[in-house]
Amino acid sequence: MEASYIRAYREGRLQEALRRAALWMRKCTLCPRHCRVNRMADERGFCRTGRKAIVASYGAHFGEERPLVGRNGSGTIFFSHCNLFCVFCQNDDISHKGAGSSMGPEEIASIMLSLQQRGCHNINFVTPTHVIHAILEALLIAVEAGLSIPLVYNCGGYESVAALKLLHGVVDIYMPDFKFWNVEAAGELINAPDYPERARAGLKEMHRQVGDLVLDRAGVARRGLLVRHLVMPEGLAGTSGVMAFLASEISAGTYVNVMDQYHPCGRASKYHRIDRRITIEEFRASIEAALRAGLTRLDDRQCYWNRSEL
pLDDT digits (tens, 9 = 90+) for 174-202: 999 999 999 999 999 999 999 999 999 99
3-class DSSP state for residue 12?
A: coil
Please state, in angstroms and rounded to a whole number, the distance separating the CA atoms of residues 252 and 190.
Answer: 28
Q: What pLDDT, on a 0 to 100 scale, did the predictor assign at position 303? A: 53
pLDDT band at 309 (very low <50, low <70, confident <90, very high): low
Please state, in angstroms and rounded to a whole number, the distance separating the CA atoms of residues 160 and 118.
Answer: 33
45 occurs within a structural domain: no
pLDDT digits (tens, 9 = 90+) for 254-272: 999 999 999 999 899 999 9
Beta pairing class for 53-61 and 101-103: antiparallel
3-class DSSP state for residue 228?
A: strand
pLDDT score of 305 more than 50:
no
- Mean pLDDT, rounded, for 43-67: 96
187 occurs within a structural domain: yes
Q: What pLDDT, on a 0 to 100 scale, did the predictor assign at position 92? A: 79
Amino acid residing at 150: P
264 occurs within a structural domain: yes
116 occurs within a structural domain: yes
Give the alpha-carbon dihedral of 296, 299, 305, 307, to 10 degrees: 50
72 occurs within a structural domain: yes
Beta bridge partners of 257: 228
pLDDT score of 11 more than 50:
yes
Cβ within 8 Å of residue 262, ≥6 positions away: 88, 230, 231, 232, 233, 274, 277, 278
pLDDT digits (tens, 9 = 90+) for 15-32: 999 999 999 999 999 999
Cβ atoms within 10 Å of 299's Cβ, excluding its own: 16
42 occurs within a structural domain: no
Asked if 43 and 121 count as a contact pair (C-beta separation under 8 A), the reply is no
Domain that holds residue 26: 4-37+58-309
* CATH code for the domain of 218: 3.20.20.70
Beta pairing class for 221-230 and 255-259: parallel
**Considering the entire predicted model, what is its pTM?**
0.96
pLDDT score of 107 more than 90:
yes
Give the alpha-carbon dihedral of 103, 149, 154, 51, to 10 degrees: 20
Number of structural domains found in the chain: 1
Cβ within 8 Å of residue 288, ≥6 positions away: none
49 occurs within a structural domain: no
pLDDT score of 232 more than 50:
yes
pLDDT digits (tens, 9 = 90+) for 74-83: 999 999 999 9
Radius of gyration of the chain (CA): 18
Q: What pLDDT, on a 0 to 100 scale, did the predictor assign at position 96? A: 77
Asked if 35 and 184 count as a contact pair (C-beta separation under 8 A), the reply is no
43 occurs within a structural domain: no
Q: What pLDDT, on a 0 to 100 scale, did the predictor assign at position 301? A: 63
